[in-house]
Amino acid sequence: MRNRLTLAGVPLSVLMLSACGASDPYEEESGEAGTVVVGSADFPESTVLAEVYGRAMEARGVDVDYQLNIGSREVYYSQMEEGNLSVFPEYNGAILAYLDDDAPSGTSEETDAAVEEALPEGLETLESSEAENKDSVTVTEEVAEEHGLESLTDLEGVAEDLVLGGPPEFETRHQGLVGLEEVYGVEFGEFRALEVALLTQALLDGDIQAANLFTTDPQVAVEDFVVLEDPENVFGAQNITPLVNSDQVGDTAREALNAVSAELTTEEVTALNERVVIDNENAADVAQDWLAEAGLD
């Protein structure tokens, strides 16, 4: 089952109840949960990962619905808590920072353990993949050469003359402007809130001089951008990890998701992104190709 549900105006739970009559869409049958709703944030990598998760579960006979391009964590996390979403591709360090502003940076294993402690009852994470996608502060080669930038430490005394672009939430997150100021003493002259899809062009056009790009963004390599090193690990571990609503995800779905995590690498995620972002291929088709190559279809 491949449906596209909407949050606009009617809660997903109401839509699913209407579709199923009076029955509970998550009623246990033969020890397995009912329809699993996979969500994604509003950027290409999240969408293709959601398609990977969903199709991997479908390959094992799980009924899957999709709610894609929802928005930022500040929007979709509440939908996970309320049970309107069952599975979401997350990043262990990012979800930890969202749940606990004071959480220290750590290894992938330490971060996973801290996330499990911080999550409320009813939500959990499954096995993390080795694939990692960190936030970054990225500049063009020209800006890097002009100001001698290799690391975030090099921004001291320089950042006040630069405009940094990023999604709105980057302004208030510790893994964002807050952490940059606290850890590196860096304050940019201006922060410009932009949609993720607009950041690369704004950087190329000189409208901004630095951007919060993901390290698996294929444009980084295509445009020879410079990702500034993060020696103090402000951005922490960022392993791709399934976040699930415990009651809505049965054993078969869990096994499918963990199988994806066991195969997924950073290089493969970057390649998936390149096909979607650069080559304009359909995310669902790209996901299916990867699952076939990994033997998970």
- pLDDT of 3: 54
Helices (H), the chain: 12-19, 44-58, 73-82, 92-99, 108-118, 141-147, 179-184, 196-205, 218-222, 251-263, 266-273, 283-294
- Residue-level pLDDT at 274: 94
Task: Please give the model's pTM, rounded to 2 decimal places.
Answer: 0.74
Residues 53, 171 within the same domain: no
Q: Do both 19 and 90 map to the same domain?
A: yes
Domain finish residue from 169, 199, 227: 227
Residues of the chain whose pLDDT is less than 70? 1-33
Based on its alpha-carbon atoms, the radius of gyration of the chain, rounded to whole angstroms, reads 20
74 and 54 both lie in a single domain: yes
Shared domain for 98 and 155, answered yes or no, is no
Provide the CATH number for the domain around residue 264.
3.40.190.10
Domain that holds residue 171: 138-227
The total number of structural domains in the chain stands at 2
Q: Are residues 175 and 243 in the same domain?
A: no
